[in-house]
């Protein structure tokens, strides 16, 4: 683990010691002047202000307390050593020796409830259930997530796998579980990481021959939140390791939560045994939010900014009508609009929003490019009917134009694959994803395809 990354564990270790393990006065005296120095090869170096201080910390057994807390947090054995470094206070004067510290008076400045709000180093504090808007698109997923958060490892929803397109709230929902579990039980060992980190740490552990530390870290947690597992495709050894991690946790009723950009059955180059493990619990998908949910989300996001001027319902409705792709785009649009209004000191109107969105999005709002227009242009170009393009017939004469039309709809509009599927006779979003993939693949081997797509785009925009 990198030096800086480890600092997160150190901060959390200190926080836990302060909260749970020793009294405030003792903490003040002996921990406040300990400063993170460096971390390498399972050895943490802490800077202390003097030899006296260092000797006291060791003779009081605080080094062992730190080591034990770090082991609980990271799952690996970590040794702690101290160096002496003169610490200067804000005026540049050497800081007083600890024995000369003024007496601690906790009562004078009791921590505010805000300070007391504790956050986990790997979880975003705003990714909570409270900030998650529930709509038809996600109510089942949220219900299950809340049940899990209240009883991690004890429901039949283990593992819990959330899948859906980009920006639809997978990471937020997964972390909301983490935040809730953490609020309910500060002692819970929670690991929340992107799959990429899991891969990198695994590779690093092989390189440095520290696989045992890696295993200890991941196989001894109460809640494992692993984001974007599609990033593990092709990574056979890491998948194998995750399979064993899975079993170790599952057998002890520890909760596992995963997110993925597709249903697990569609993961390519993925260990079958691991895939079948995902089926043991609950798999839910997040759909794009409806118009009404988009409005509710924008209102919630406005509440969370410190933007004080009012944003009219008309503007909110306009944004909701025009940005249908996903919640991340909705948020980005709102941030741009608020940022703009802050800079130019003007109120936000529908007209200014229209201009801003035109500038920032490749397809202008209320653009003349609709899925209908794409279907019409493609059907004329290939001389097949729109009915055929939307239908189910699978002859080459029809499937190719259908794939091209789906591909163009994905490229030229903000509609999600789910919405595009609906416009193509109620097909599944995976059919649309598959069609786009086929066109992409064909483009690499068939040099006539790209000019054809360009020509079609010209026709569509004309």
Least distance (Å) between residue 134 CB and ligand ADP:
7
Residue where the block lists tokens 């043991």: 280
Give the residue, chosen from 120, 172, 217, 402, that forms a contact with ligand ADP under the rule CB under 6 A: 172
Q: Which of 391, 397, 384, 377 is nearest to 423 (CA)?
A: 391
Q: In this chain, which stretch among 11-19, 103-111, 127-135, 353-361 interacts with ligand ADP, using CB under 6 A?
A: 127-135
Closest residue to Mg ion, based on beta-carbon distance:
171
Task: Rank residues 74 and 171 by Cβ distance to ligand ADP and give the closer one.
Answer: 171
From residue 155 to residue 184, what is the string marking binding to Mg ion with x (rule CB under 5 A)? ---------------xx-------------
Closest residue to ligand ADP, based on beta-carbon distance:
169
132 binds ligand ADP (CB under 6 A): yes
In 308-408 the beta strands, taken as DSSP E runs, fall at none
Interface residues for ligand ADP in 329-348 (CB under 6 A)?
Answer: 331
Give the residue, chosen from 48, 76, 171, 375, that forms a contact with ligand ADP under the rule CB under 6 A: 171
Count helices and strands in the chain by DSSP H and E runs: 21, 8
Give every strand in the sheet of 282-285, ordered side by side: 190-194, 223-227, 255-260, 160-163, 282-285
DSSP characters for 360-389?
A: HSSS-TT-S--HHHHHHHHHHHHT--HHHH
Question: Cα(284)–Cα(344) distance, rounded to whole angstroms?
Answer: 43
Give the residue, chosen from 7, 328, 390, 434, that forms a contact with ligand ADP under the rule CB under 6 A: 328
Q: Tell me if 165 sits within 8 A of 266, measured CB to CB.
A: no
At a CB cut-off of 8 Å and minimum separation 6, what does 312 contact?
Answer: 348, 349, 350
From Mg ion, ligand ADP, none, which one binds at residue 168 (CB under 5 to 8 Å depending on kind)?
ligand ADP
Q: In this chain, which stretch among 65-73, 112-120, 162-170, 374-382 interacts with ligand ADP, using CB under 6 A?
A: 162-170
Q: Is the dihedral of CA 422, 423, 426, 427 positive or negative?
A: negative
Interface residues for ligand ADP in 369-388 (CB under 6 A)?
Answer: none
Give the residue, chosen from 46, 57, 66, 168, that forms a contact with ligand ADP under the rule CB under 6 A: 168
294 binds ligand ADP (CB under 6 A): no
Task: Rank residues 76 and 138 by Cβ distance to ligand ADP and give the closer one.
Answer: 138
* Integer CA distances (angstroms), 434 to 161, 178, 266, 385, 422, in order: 21, 33, 10, 22, 15
Q: Which of 124, 122, 126, 119 is nearest to 15 (CA)?
A: 119
Which residues in this chain contact ligand ADP in the complex, by CB under 6 A? 131-133, 138, 164, 166-172, 297, 300, 327-328, 331
Which residues in this chain contact Mg ion in the complex, by CB under 5 A? 170-171
């Amino acid at each position: 683990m990198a030096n800086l990354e480890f600092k997160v564990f150190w901060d959390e270790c200190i926080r836990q010691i302060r909260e749970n393990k020793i009294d405030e006065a003792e903490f003040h005296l002996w921990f406040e002047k300990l400063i993170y120095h460096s971390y390498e090869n399972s050895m943490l170096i802490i800077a202390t202000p003097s030899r006296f201080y260092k000797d006291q910390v060791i003779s009081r057994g605080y080094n062992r307390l730190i080591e034990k807390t770090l082991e609980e947090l990271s799952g690996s054995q970590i040794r702690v050593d101290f160096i002496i470094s003169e610490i200067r206070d804000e005026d540049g004067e050497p800081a007083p020796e600890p024995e000369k510290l003024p007496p601690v008076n906790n009562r004078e400045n009791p921590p505010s409830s805000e300070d007391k709000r504790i956050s986990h180093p790997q979880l975003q504090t705003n990714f909570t259930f409270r900030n998650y808007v529930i709509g038809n698109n996600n109510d089942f997923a949220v219900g299950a997530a809340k049940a899990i958060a209240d009883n991690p490892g004890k429901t039949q929803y283990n593992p819990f796998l959330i899948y859906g397109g980009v920006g639809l709230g997978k990471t937020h929902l997964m972390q909301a579980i983490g935040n809730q579990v953490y609020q309910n039980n500060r002692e819970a060992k929670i690991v929340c990481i992107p799959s990429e980190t899991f891969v990198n740490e695994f590779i690093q552990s092989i390189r440095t021959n520290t696989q045992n530390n890696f295993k200890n870290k991941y196989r001894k947690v109460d809640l494992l939140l692993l984001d974007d597992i599609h990033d593990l495709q092709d990574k056979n050894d890491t998948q194998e390791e995750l399979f064993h991690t899975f079993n170790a946790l599952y057998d002890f009723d520890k909760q596992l939560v995963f997110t993925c950009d597709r249903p697990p059955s569609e993961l390519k180059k993925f260990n079958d045994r691991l895939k079948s493990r995902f089926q043991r619990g609950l798999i839910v998908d997040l759909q794009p939010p409806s118009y009404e949910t988009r409005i509710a989300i924008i209102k919630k996001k406005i509440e969370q900014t410190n933007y004080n001027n009012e944003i009219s319902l008309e503007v909110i409705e306009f944004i909701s009508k025009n940005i249908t792709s996903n919640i991340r785009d909705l948020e980005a649009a709102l941030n741009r609009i608020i940022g703009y209004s802050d800079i130019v000191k003007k109120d936000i109107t529908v007209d200014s929003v229209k201009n801003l969105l035109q500038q920032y999005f490749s397809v202008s709002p209320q653009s003349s490019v609709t899925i209908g227009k794409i279907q019409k242009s493609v059907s004329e170009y290939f001389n097949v009917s729109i009915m055929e393009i939307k239908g189910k017939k699978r002859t080459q004469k029809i499937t190719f134009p259908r794939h091209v039309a789906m591909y163009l709809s994905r490229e030229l509009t903000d509609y999600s694959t789910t919405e595009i599927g609906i416009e193509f006779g109620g097909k599944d979003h995976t059919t649309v994803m598959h069609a786009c993939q086929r066109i992409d693949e064909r483009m690499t081997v068939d040099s006539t395809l790209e000019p054809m797509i360009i020509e079609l785009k010209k026709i569509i925009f004309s």
